[in-house]
């Protein structure tokens, strides 16, 4: 839009602005996804996410409720944006794009839920794939690594994190046994 009273201002291209909002939202969703995966799905929302870490039959699992919620948020933002609350429709489009990429890449490449089961060939996709395998190698919701979707730390870093968690857990188990022995001694006189 060109401002007549200010000749030094250039017109802003709404297409570039909208694409920037879309792209920034898509990138920011990696952070949102990381936090939601680590603190919600592996936290108080484990009751739904557990199905994703266990063998299941059929096309759907209770973990898919998270994707449904993401889709509803995206549609809500698009509707609000189209109702005059710019640029929410582009934020919603970025959220929706993240969901589509998740379904295609995560379910297709990582878990091979599609008829065609591609194997990652380039270094970036291999890194994501192996980090995801390490994430699923840990049974249960605690002591897992690599909660991101489009970013994964190096294998060296992930192995170091796993070793540190295992060592801390063994140290805690040793302290628990020691405390139980002391309690037993106190009870037995």
Name the residue with higher pLDDT: 69 or 175.
69
For 137-184, how does the pLDDT look when each residue is reduced to its tens digit (9 = 90+)? 877 778 788 888 888 888 889 888 888 887 877 777 666 665 566 666
Q: In 3D, which of 134, 32, 11 has the Cα closest to residue 74?
A: 32
Q: CA distances (Å), 121 to each of 118, 125, 148, 163, in order? A: 9, 7, 20, 28
Alpha-carbon gap, residue 23 to 28, rounded angstroms: 9
Alpha-carbon gap, residue 71 to 82, rounded angstroms: 16
For 178-187, how does the pLDDT look when each residue is reduced to its tens digit (9 = 90+)? 556 666 666 6
């Amino acid at each position: 839009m060109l401002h007549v009273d200010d000749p030094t201002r250039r017109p802003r291209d709404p297409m570039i602005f909208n694409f920037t909002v879309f792209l920034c939202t898509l990138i920011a969703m990696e952070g949102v996804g990381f936090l939601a995966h680590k603190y919600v799905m592996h936290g108080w929302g484990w009751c739904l996410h557990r199905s994703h870490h266990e063998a299941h039959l059929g096309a759907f699992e209770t973990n898919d409720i998270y994707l449904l919620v993401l889709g509803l948020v995206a549609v809500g933002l698009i509707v609000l944006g189209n109702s005059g609350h710019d640029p929410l429709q582009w934020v919603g489009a970025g959220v929706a794009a993240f969901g589509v990429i998740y379904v295609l890449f995560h379910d297709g490449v990582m878990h091979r839920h599609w008829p065609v089961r591609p194997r990652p060939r380039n270094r970036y996709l291999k890194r994501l794939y192996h980090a995801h395998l390490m994430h699923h190698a840990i049974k249960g919701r605690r002591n897992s690594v690599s909660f991101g979707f489009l970013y994964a730390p190096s294998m060296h870093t992930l192995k170091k994190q796993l070793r540190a968690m295992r060592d801390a857990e063994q140290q805690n188990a040793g302290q628990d046994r020691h405390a139980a022995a002391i309690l037993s001694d106190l009870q037995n006189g």
